[in-house]
Structure 1
Amino acid sequence: MKKILCLWMTVGLLVTGCQQDLDVVNPNAPTTDLFWKNATDAQQGVNAIYSTLHRGPIVLWQWFYYTVRSDEAFSQSPRTDIPNNMDKFLITNYNFGETNWIYGDNYIGIFRANQVLDNVPNIQMDEALKSRLMGEAKFFRGFFYYNLASLYGNVPLILATSKPTDLPANATRQEVWAQVVKDLTEASGVLPTKYSGTDVGRITKGAAYALLAKAYLQQRQYDQALTPLQWLVEGEGKDIYSLMPNYRDNFLSTTENNAESVFEWQFATNPSEFTDNDVQTPNQNYGSPLAQFVAPLNVGFSDAEMQRWVVNEFHQDKTTAGERDPRLAASLLYDSTDVRGPEFTQIYGQTFAQRYGTTGNNRGRVWLRKFQNDAEPGRANEGFRSANNYRFIRYSDVLLLYAETLNELNRTAEAYPYVDRVRQRAGLPALTQAKPGLDQTQFRAQIMHERVTELAGEGHRWNDLDRWGYFESQEKINELAQRDPAFTTFIVGRHRLLPLPQRDVDINPNLQQNPNY
């Protein structure tokens, strides 16, 4: 789906004056009287929702809050507001730009989805296509509220096309999760299982079921999560999805939309652009800036780095041939990505030793490799418009979630085979052989380990920790602080959620700030 258009929807928005009617209609601007007339309008309206994923706050800064704010990564960016707000829980500015942009861009996506849901039912067009497009819009509204529930919690529920005069009140986090479940359930009922041609990459039934399962799991509703996971693992999904034989194929631009991809964000090189800089030019957001911000020192900005303890997790198991877990080299760039050490480890055309030496602080630094483009021949650095797709939900994630769900339902013995599939793809011995007879608590701890080695840096760690109860007691926070010193400033009852943008709270008398901010 590399050809989805980046359509900026501004249909029907007017500015309201305070004392007198100053509304002036631009005769050249599209309006709801002119748009939403035919199937092309419906298609373009849905494409506009997809283009929200190209916006920097969603693909970049939201990843920071899911990953850098967790214990698996950190920031030592020279922009001190990034580590303070996104890593160290030193949040003093409730209008911090990047935080507000994430909040605002998720609502931009919701606005676009609501426009489709409000207007497409009235269009005379093929009913099967209409149903599918409505399903895509419901999926995305559920997805954007999934992010808002995960990061901000008690946000307004806006379920119709908003107007400038709207002053919505907070919903509870539970109410937001309930809406996520409703939207994804309805979407899963009408979406196709797969696409062909230029439609490959659009939202499928499997993507809706996978995100629905995640939403249930975040609420610890394991019984409800079982149904969508069973469809994916034991039902029709088992004939659609599978693990790629080569783990690294999940992170290369040459192997996108493969059999392991369940929900993949589509990026591309804009053919109208001849530079890879941050100049604000029309339609420049086909690509992703994430690689630029997480790339190693002197390759990109190095604004996010992985904690060294993550490397150690990969050393807990050897393959059946007695070798190192191959996922380590596929996941991270550090002094020993090549097992022979810094003189052999390649960092964009130079060895680690050439770039950073073999002594000093740089020797211990670790960067995420998964979103990088170092596999491209001759690539010396990263840029703002990477065409490498973001595989947000992979089938291995689904298998581990299914195993976790079965374990939480006291069906631990049944959970083993799904962990085995993930481990054996990496060449590790089956858990059935390596650690038979684990009880529920022991198996839960094993799942925590497996999700680090399989999914490190992919944007799930914060929600994993939240689901496992790490933000609810000081004892658990102290455990996190052993791996990530930033958690020494975490305050239980406050930092589980981000503050709502204070600017919104100030202008909306119906909106209350999150607790303890």
Structure 2
Amino acid sequence: MKKIIILLVIVFGFYSCENELDIINPNEVTNESFWQNEADAIKGINSCYSTLHRGGFTRWQPMLYDLRSDVGASYSPWNELANALNNFIQPNSNFGPVVDVYFDNYVGIFRANQVIANVPNIAMDESLKSRILGEAYFFRGMHYYHLASLWGNVVLQLKPSSPTDVNPTTPEPEVWAQVISDLTQASSRLPKNYANANDLGRITKGGAFALLGKAYMQIQDYPSAKTALDYFITGEGVNVYDLVTDYYDNFKITTEFNKESVIEWSYIENPTEGTDNDIASANHNYGTSIGQFYGPPGVGFTDGEALRWVVGEFEIERTVSNQRDPRLPVTFLYNFTNEAGPSATMVYGQTFQQRYGNNDRVFFRKFLHDHARNFEGFRGINNYRFIRFADVLLMYAECLNANGSTNDAYKYVNRVRSRAGLAPLPTGLSQQAFLTQIKHERLLELTGEGHRFNDLKRWGDLGPSLSVKDPGFNNFVIGKHELLPIPQRDLDINPNMDQNPNW
């Protein structure tokens, strides 16, 4: 009798739980109840922008691009971090910071898919609907751009996912094809600019074309890349963008969203910011933490820093007025950021000499806050400039050169050099010599902005030979380390996924 009673209790318990699970909570928003009107569509697309405030984007993703290239390194006391970011040693494919980037990109894809799937069914202003869908296609394309760049062979999820989805791994070329498809959709729907000041920072047609050009370049389709970038040179965007006079204006909080900005992620003032341990306080999702992790010792964690050889590259040429390249002190904090030396170089309210004595370490500066305040934190307010017009000009020149029009490419490189005060390039360079010069120009103009790893990958320059500049490349295995390992936790959940080669 005792066993029967127990059995009845168990059966009744299961029955009760099943009924409770079927009850819809009237206070809980569902997909069916949410996507009803224009306001819902705007909230939905705004959630895509909110993804950019997650730690994978504001911290780890720039480090994966900078520190796994030859311009940066990690000497973090967190050995697992230093090995993964600097030494191409990652025995644990579930390593948190790397997985965070992978996961956050899929968070963004999930949000974009929600918009793409649901907004078409909403009765609303058709032009606004088209624009919102353009933004969603951009974000899905951008997130797959990062996944294709860093992991290559990943799952394509093109509709709102469910826990039962077990889609197979998609080969990298097909992932790039999806990136191009989404960004093409975005470019056809997005506006040239926005009339409402409240929309400052939203993706524009120029943003979609710029990233589309980058995507084509990564798969070596230079004719199509040039066509995408024509938007800025001969197309509708010809008078929208220009180089700012002062290079430093691209990285100050007082000159955000200037005419050189093509894609810029916005981080706003948060009144609760103020200490290095503020990660536990409210409203964390306002800012960027890259400054906290790139900040020099005594200010930030210094989990990533620059390599000294790049300073020498800036010193190869002098300006036409016999000055050093003005981009050098903007790009790095080091003992000669001020040419007068360590005792004149200021580092967050103290001299370099006071802080570090006779030290030759170099720190990425572009997205720090030393120009505005004497501390870093987890909620920085310095916007992240993802793509600038200077980058577009150098990409366009690279495309022209690759397509056999080297003579037509000089003027676009010279625009960038002229802003830095450098003399025009000598004419008559061969196609290969011009590409070598492009590599130098992109290094000086864009170091510390998250493009170097993809540049090296596109040029076929990744490999152990880079160890003369960056000892971490002694561990680089060709055919393996061009891509990161797929997280094992995802492989365990989805039996249709495959690990990347040699991992």
TM-score using structure 1 length? 0.92
Question: How many angstroms does 1:107 deviate by?
Answer: 0.3
Deviations 1:400-419 (A, max 9, x none): 00000000111111100000
Provide the C-alpha distance between the structure 2 equivalents of 1:371 and 1:30, rounded to a whole number of angstroms. 38
**What SS class does the counterpart of residue 432 from structure 2 fall into?**
helix
Match of 2:439 among 439, 448, 454: 448
Question: How many angstroms does 1:275 deviate by?
Answer: 5.8
Question: How many angstroms does 1:283 deviate by?
Answer: 3.5
What is the aligned-residue identity percentage? 54
CA 272–299 in structure 1, closer or farther in 2 if over 3 Å, else same: closer
Q: Which residue of 2 aligns with 1:462?
A: 453
Do the aligned partners of 1:276 and 1:385 also contact (CA within 8 Å) in 2? no
Q: Which residue of 2 aligns with 1:425?
A: 419
Deviations 1:287-331 (A, max 9, x none): 000011001111111111100011011001110000100000111
Do the aligned partners of 1:296 and 1:367 also contact (CA within 8 Å) in 2? yes
- 1:488 alignment partner AA: N
Do the aligned partners of 2:305 and 2:362 also contact (CA within 8 Å) in 1? yes
Q: Which residue of 2 aligns with 1:35?
A: 34
Q: Which residue of 2 aligns with 1:13?
A: none
CA 214–70 in structure 1, closer or farther in 2 if over 3 Å, else same: same
Q: Which residue of 1 aligns with 2:500?
A: 514
Provide the C-alpha distance between the structure 2 equivalents of 1:224 and 1:20, rounded to a whole number of angstroms. 55
Provide the C-alpha distance between the structure 1 equivalents of 2:101 and 2:471, rounded to a whole number of angstroms. 25
Q: Which residue of 1 aligns with 2:125?
A: 126
Question: How many angstroms does 1:54 deviate by?
Answer: 0.4
1:233-312, aligned counterparts within 5 Å?
Answer: 233-271=233-271, 277-312=277-312
Does 1:117 find its partner at 2:116? Answer: yes
Question: How many angstroms does 1:470 deviate by?
Answer: 1.9
Q: Which residue of 1 aligns with 2:365?
A: 369
**What SS class does the counterpart of residue 106 from structure 2 fall into?**
helix
Do the aligned partners of 2:464 and 2:476 also contact (CA within 8 Å) in 1? no
Provide the C-alpha distance between the structure 1 equivalents of 2:491 and 2:287, rounded to a whole number of angstroms. 33
- 2:216 alignment partner AA: Y
Do the aligned partners of 1:404 and 1:447 also contact (CA within 8 Å) in 2? yes
Provide the C-alpha distance between the structure 1 equivalents of 2:322 and 2:478, rounded to a whole number of angstroms. 43
Provide the C-alpha distance between the structure 1 equivalents of 2:132 and 2:177, rounded to a whole number of angstroms. 22
Match of 2:468 among 475, 479, 482: 482
Question: How many angstroms does 1:34 deviate by?
Answer: 1.5
Q: Which residue of 1 aligns with 2:147?
A: 148
Q: Which residue of 2 aligns with 1:219?
A: 219
Q: Which residue of 1 aligns with 2:5?
A: none
Question: How many angstroms does 1:191 deviate by?
Answer: 0.4
Match of 1:416 among 410, 415, 438: 410
Provide the C-alpha distance between the structure 2 equivalents of 1:308 and 1:430, rounded to a whole number of angstroms. 26
Q: Which residue of 2 aligns with 1:321?
A: 321
Provide the C-alpha distance between the structure 2 equivalents of 1:263 and 1:239, rounded to a whole number of angstroms. 16
Deviations 1:155-206 (A, max 9, x none): 0000000001111110010000000000000110010011131101100000
Of Structure 1 and Structure 2, which has the larger fraction of its residues in helix?
2
Does 1:337 find its partner at 2:337? Answer: yes
Q: Which residue of 2 aligns with 1:65?
A: 64
CA 230–273 in structure 1, closer or farther in 2 if over 3 Å, else same: same
Do the aligned partners of 2:48 and 2:112 also contact (CA within 8 Å) in 1? yes
Question: How many angstroms does 1:273 deviate by?
Answer: 6.1
CA 30–21 in structure 1, closer or farther in 2 if over 3 Å, else same: same
Do the aligned partners of 1:195 and 1:201 also contact (CA within 8 Å) in 2? no
Question: How many angstroms does 1:270 deviate by?
Answer: 2.9
Provide the C-alpha distance between the structure 1 equivalents of 2:303 and 2:37, rounded to a whole number of angstroms. 45
Does 1:501 find its partner at 2:487? Answer: yes
Question: How many angstroms does 1:64 deviate by?
Answer: 1.0
Q: Structure 2: 5+ residue runs without aligned partners? A: 1-16
Provide the C-alpha distance between the structure 2 equivalents of 1:463 and 1:21, rounded to a whole number of angstroms. 53
Do the aligned partners of 1:345 and 1:352 also contact (CA within 8 Å) in 2? yes
CA 256–83 in structure 1, closer or farther in 2 if over 3 Å, else same: same
- 1:446 alignment partner AA: Q
Deviations 1:115-155 (A, max 9, x none): 00000001111001000000000000000000000000000
Deviations 1:38-59 (A, max 9, x none): 1110000000000100001122
1:352-391, aligned counterparts within 5 Å?
Answer: 352-358=352-358, 363-376=359-372, 379-391=373-385
Comparing 283-292 with 266-275, greater Cα deviation is found at 266-275
Provide the C-alpha distance between the structure 1 equivalents of 2:331 and 2:495, rounded to a whole number of angstroms. 46
Provide the C-alpha distance between the structure 1 equivalents of 2:297 and 2:134, rounded to a whole number of angstroms. 42
Provide the C-alpha distance between the structure 2 equivalents of 1:293 and 1:210, rounded to a whole number of angstroms. 28
- 1:159 alignment partner AA: L
CA 442–507 in structure 1, closer or farther in 2 if over 3 Å, else same: same
CA 415–499 in structure 1, closer or farther in 2 if over 3 Å, else same: same
Q: Which residue of 1 aligns with 2:398?
A: 404
Do the aligned partners of 2:112 and 2:139 also contact (CA within 8 Å) in 1? yes
Deviations 1:80-131 (A, max 9, x none): 1111111101110011111111111100000000000000001111001000
Do the aligned partners of 2:274 and 2:377 also contact (CA within 8 Å) in 1? no
Which one has a bigger Cα radius of gyration?
A: 2
Q: Structure 1: 5+ residue runs without aligned partners? A: 1-18, 472-476
Q: How many residues align?
A: 485
- 1:392 alignment partner AA: F
1:160-175, aligned counterparts within 5 Å?
Answer: 160-175=159-174
Question: How many angstroms does 1:467 deviate by?
Answer: 0.2
- 2:85 alignment partner AA: M
Do the aligned partners of 2:275 and 2:377 also contact (CA within 8 Å) in 1? no
Question: How many angstroms does 1:380 deviate by?
Answer: 2.1
Q: Which residue of 2 aligns with 1:394?
A: 388
Provide the C-alpha distance between the structure 1 equivalents of 2:20 and 2:94, rounded to a whole number of angstroms. 29
Does 1:54 find its partner at 2:53? Answer: yes
